[in-house]
Structure 1
Amino acid sequence: MNIGKQGKLFRKRIAVRIIFCLNHFFPDQIGGTEIYTLELAKALKAKGHQVLIVIPNYGKDKNDTYKFEDVDVEKYAEPQEVDRLFLQSNIPPQGLPAFCGLLERFVPDLVHFQEVTASRGISVFHLLDAKARGYKTIITFHLAGHSCHTGNLMYVDKKSCDGMINISKCAWCTYNDKGLSYTKKALLFGTSNLFFRVGYDTRKWQHKAGTALAFHFIIENLKKSFDQLTNACDHIVSITTWYKEMLIKNGVNPSKITHIPQGLRKQAACKNPKKTVDRLKLVFVGRISKIKGIHLLIEALEALPEEKISLAIYGQHNGDEYYNDCIRKSARMNNITWCGVLQPEAVVQTICLYDALCLPSICSEMSPLVIQEAFAAGLPVIASNVYGNAEQIKHGVTGWLFKLGDPEALSSCLKELITQPSKVLEARENLPAARPFALVAEEYDKLYQEIIDSA
């Protein structure tokens, strides 16, 4: 410890041993959370810290290790099979002892959870065990699912939710999300509420009918899990202001939360930015999954003339039914191209050849990195009006927001840009500069030191 000129005490910066926990990682999965974790790990290693990334080795009864871009990764044995009984029993997955053994071998100063799931991946049980063993724990929330069962934070599909977890309100919204008629929703909601009031949990039937009548219990468990997570961890990082406010609304102590905004890793400059807009060229970059809303984008383009608009889709898929269905629907459209996986370091340089990025997500994106990548490439963004998109996009200035889940609203927005291409050019002039990821790493470094100093 040193004494400065003003007589203040300054603790010398120390090297920290850090474990990052998440459910998947490169090269098997490429997504925003994985990119964020990789960039943070590399930046912290460059500062002299020791970093280990930990993920489950799904379906395996032994650990495995590898390196990715000089970052150490360990996959702990996780043989747990997933079925209805496991998901509803609220019991630790079989791989928890292997995870704990890994902690004891590495002996971290901090265990930083980048993801927490309710399934066999990194869960609240892993956090509680790390905490019980005396390790400092941090959570960075990348998704809103811990406080919203539907994941979109839109109340009955019409307006942005206030984020408060309320059993009755959230149960009704969940039934509404199933697309049922009002009569069916009311019947299921009333029956679920009755069972909840008398304390009878129909999930023990081990049948989908039991689940359908238990949404009040499901929301109650969501609230309990949220409270358990936020109470047990030593500190929480929110990458957005809107989610920090929701955490506080749900009872989290503000002093326990640090807001560290998203940042953009250094990328190659855009060598050939477009100067004109003839045929509107859209690009999508992200995972090919239903929550990303690609089906809505395809449907929106069906109503527009092919010679006036085109779409390039970049993303990783797992060959599931959703992906195959999107392929089938787009097969008859000559203006949609499937371009495969786009490596993170090539995003900006690739998408700058397009006119606008489209992000039609049907879940509440926390703070999509691809929006900053689009801005860095000189592209305005067309996105659904969920919180994470709306915090970064100024409607009519740096992009356009449309009603979540509404292909007609998206199509109407695109039609306006086709007929008035000057709006795209005007939006390009308003795009903000990207926040360097180096600043994100600096703020985490400072936070880690503060947490260790407070021990």
Structure 2
Amino acid sequence: MKVIQALARYFPDKCGGIQVNLNELLPKLRTHDIDIQIAAANNGSQKEETYKYNDVEVYRYPVFPTPKTQPNHGQFPHGKFEYFANWLTNQKADIYHQHHWEVYCGLPHLRLAKELGMATVLTVHYAVPICQRITLMFNGQKVCDGKIDVVRCSQCADTLSKKLPAPMVKSLSHFPLDLLSRLPLPTSAYLPASVDDGNLGRFVRPFVVPAYVAARQNSLLKMAKYADRIVTVCDWLYKALLINGIPEEKLILSRHGISYTAQEKSLKTKQQSDPLKVVFLGRWDIYKGIDILVQAVKDLPQQVKIELVIHGITQDERYRQKIFNLIANDPRIRVNKELTRVELPQTLANYDLLAVPSQCLETGPLVVLEAHSLSVPVIGSNLGGIAELVRHGIDGWLVTANDTKAWTQALERLATDTNLLNTLRQGIKPVRTVNLQAADLATIYNNLQKQAEEKKQESF
């Protein structure tokens, strides 16, 4: 069986959890007699490129010129799309599996695969296809159910839209996207949420955001039309797609797994005199909530023994500098280098606690599984995928995401109650592996291929 895995970017480019997980998953899929090829966008390039990465053939299709951010994730094919189309046509693959829903790898790519007669699978890894804000946090403060509503979503994502009457917002949602895509809009018009900085985009947004929201709604219907199966990696995403009209018979919940081998329970125990060693692993991004974590540690009484180490991944340099300014000269907090995948397990195992203070709904994250595989408990935001993976008081501690005081209180308790920390460590169960994830996908692929063969037989 030949399967194409399609993405918006791939190694050796700088990549995130989607690519890391897929890279670890591919060798396991091969044990199920599945031949894999990667197709990934090469933004800004005018030429095709083919190479091998970890013994898997990778085709990089050109995307030129760099397209504008589109709210509908590819309503219109990007420049040089014909290269991807020609390549995919010649592959004669059985299954096409897409992992992104954006302009570089979105609706036109999925639609083409379906038109070529391939069975199609799309994995939704994040809230972007549903949420204009991309966080699924209503007004940036509380969890949203994910139901797309033009008025509600527009007013959530844009400050000035809140001041417009609902009928006007609805009428603006009918603004033709083909015309909208040709307008020379300021970059700030495309932002997930409005920024009150007085620039032109702030005043343009009320006229364009409703159309963006409507486009998201329409693109979900197209996703349901062209994808034979839609895989979600967490329960909240499954429910959000369901509430937006994706047929339940097409939805499958299949969580991520990790490649670490099972670890024996750690015999280490924290002594009362030892400082609580806390680590953060993730991007320098405001939605990762590093500022909440740092402020919580700074607010702890000086007699509370704690060490916070941040291993940040380059992304938002302004936010990184903000954190440095917030840390100031506090000796309990330090920033260390970005870790490689090879360095991560050994480093993580040296800590008492992993902190995941995300301010948005995560679909994983993988780092929770990685911590648990090393018998390291997690203190995390009581949101989304984190709350699905961490059992409060059993193998970790869940905290109200944006409540700095609650984070301070939780950290103080964990730093001073050694019995609690040791109990959490002992409560960690074996984590899901990529072997199990690969078995799930192999079953999906085999069932789709079986259905395709049955349809062929019926046609004769």
TM over 0.5: yes
Distance change in 2, residues 1:196/1:355 (3 Å): same
Q: In structure 2, the residue corresponding to 1:214 is in which secondary structure?
A: helix
- Partners of 1:18 and 1:131 in 2: how far apart? 13
Q: Give the CA deviation at 1:158.
A: 4.7
Distance change in 2, residues 1:85/1:66 (3 Å): closer
- Partners of 1:426 and 1:149 in 2: how far apart? 41
- Partners of 2:219 and 2:155 in 1: how far apart? 20
Q: Give the CA deviation at 1:88.
A: 10
- Partners of 1:161 and 1:139 in 2: how far apart? 23
* 1:285 maps to 2:297: no
* 1:244 maps to 2:244: no
Give yes or no for contact 1:360–1:404 (8 Å, CA) kept in 2.
yes
Distance change in 2, residues 1:193/1:361 (3 Å): farther
Distance change in 2, residues 1:159/1:326 (3 Å): closer
Once structures 1 and 2 are overlaid, which stretch shifts more, 303-312 or 377-386?
303-312
Distance change in 2, residues 1:227/1:85 (3 Å): closer
* 1:129 maps to 2:126: no
- Partners of 1:108 and 1:84 in 2: how far apart? 30
Query: Amino acid of the residue matched to residue 131 of structure 1?
Result: K
Give yes or no for contact 1:396–1:427 (8 Å, CA) kept in 2.
yes
- Partners of 2:320 and 2:72 in 1: how far apart? 25
Q: In structure 2, the residue corresponding to 1:144 is in which secondary structure?
A: coil
Q: Corresponding residue for 2:77? A: 92
Q: Corresponding residue for 1:10? A: none
- Partners of 1:223 and 1:259 in 2: how far apart? 21
Choose which of 69, 91, 96 in structure 2 pairs with 1:111: 96
Q: In structure 2, the residue corresponding to 1:322 is in which secondary structure?
A: helix
- Partners of 1:259 and 1:195 in 2: how far apart? 35
Distance change in 2, residues 1:173/1:416 (3 Å): farther
Q: Deviations over 1:219-241 (max 9, x none)?
A: 21111112211221111112223
* 1:169 maps to 2:124: no
- Partners of 2:73 and 2:128 in 1: how far apart? 17
Q: Corresponding residue for 1:4? A: none
TM-score, with length taken from structure 2 = 0.85
Q: In structure 2, the residue corresponding to 1:371 is in which secondary structure?
A: helix
Q: Deviations over 1:8-60 (max 9, x none)?
A: xxxxxxxx111111122233224221122112212122333221122111111
Give yes or no for contact 2:73–2:219 (8 Å, CA) kept in 1.
no
Distance change in 2, residues 1:90/1:300 (3 Å): same
Choose which of 210, 213, 220 in structure 1 pairs with 2:214: 220
* 1:404 maps to 2:389: no
Q: Deviations over 1:154-173 (max 9, x none)?
A: 33345432222222222233
Aligned-residue sequence identity (percent) comes to 28
Give yes or no for contact 1:274–1:354 (8 Å, CA) kept in 2.
no
Q: Give the CA deviation at 1:345.
A: 4.4
Q: Corresponding residue for 2:189? A: none
Q: Give the CA deviation at 1:112.
A: 0.5
* 1:148 maps to 2:131: yes
Distance change in 2, residues 1:89/1:409 (3 Å): same
* 1:206 maps to 2:185: yes
TM-score, with length taken from structure 1 = 0.85
Pairwise CA RMSD of aligned residues? 2.8
- Partners of 1:108 and 1:416 in 2: how far apart? 55
* 1:373 maps to 2:370: yes
Q: In structure 2, the residue corresponding to 1:27 is in which secondary structure?
A: coil
- Partners of 1:66 and 1:443 in 2: how far apart? 28
Q: Corresponding residue for 2:170? A: 196
Q: In structure 1, the residue corresponding to 2:313 is in which secondary structure?
A: coil
- Partners of 1:24 and 1:402 in 2: how far apart? 34
- Partners of 2:154 and 2:258 in 1: how far apart? 37
Give yes or no for contact 1:271–1:349 (8 Å, CA) kept in 2.
no
Q: Give the CA deviation at 1:122.
A: 1.0
Q: Deviations over 1:393-423 (max 9, x none)?
A: 1222221222223333322321222232332
Distance change in 2, residues 1:41/1:85 (3 Å): closer
- Partners of 2:324 and 2:349 in 1: how far apart? 25
Distance change in 2, residues 1:427/1:128 (3 Å): same
Q: Corresponding residue for 1:347? A: 344
Query: Amino acid of the residue matched to residue 152 of structure 1?
Result: T
Q: Give the CA deviation at 1:305.
A: 4.9
Q: Corresponding residue for 2:309? A: 312
Q: Corresponding residue for 2:297? A: 301
Q: Corresponding residue for 2:12? A: 27
Q: Give the CA deviation at 1:315.
A: 3.9
Choose which of 359, 364, 378 in structure 2 pairs with 1:362: 359
Q: Corresponding residue for 2:25? A: 40
Give yes or no for contact 2:375–2:428 (8 Å, CA) kept in 1.
yes
Q: Deviations over 1:95-130 (max 9, x none)?
A: 32121122123222111111111x3x2121211122
Give yes or no for contact 1:21–1:122 (8 Å, CA) kept in 2.
yes
Gaps of 5+ in 2: 187-200, 453-460
Q: Give the CA deviation at 1:328.
A: 4.1
Q: Give the CA deviation at 1:346.
A: 4.1
Q: Deviations over 1:223-270 (max 9, x none)?
A: 111221122111111222332222222212111122222222134857
Query: Amino acid of the residue matched to residue 430 of structure 1?
Result: G
- Partners of 1:250 and 1:73 in 2: how far apart? 34
Q: Deviations over 1:61-110 (max 9, x none)?
A: 11122322222222111122244799999432113212112212322211
- Partners of 1:357 and 1:331 in 2: how far apart? 22
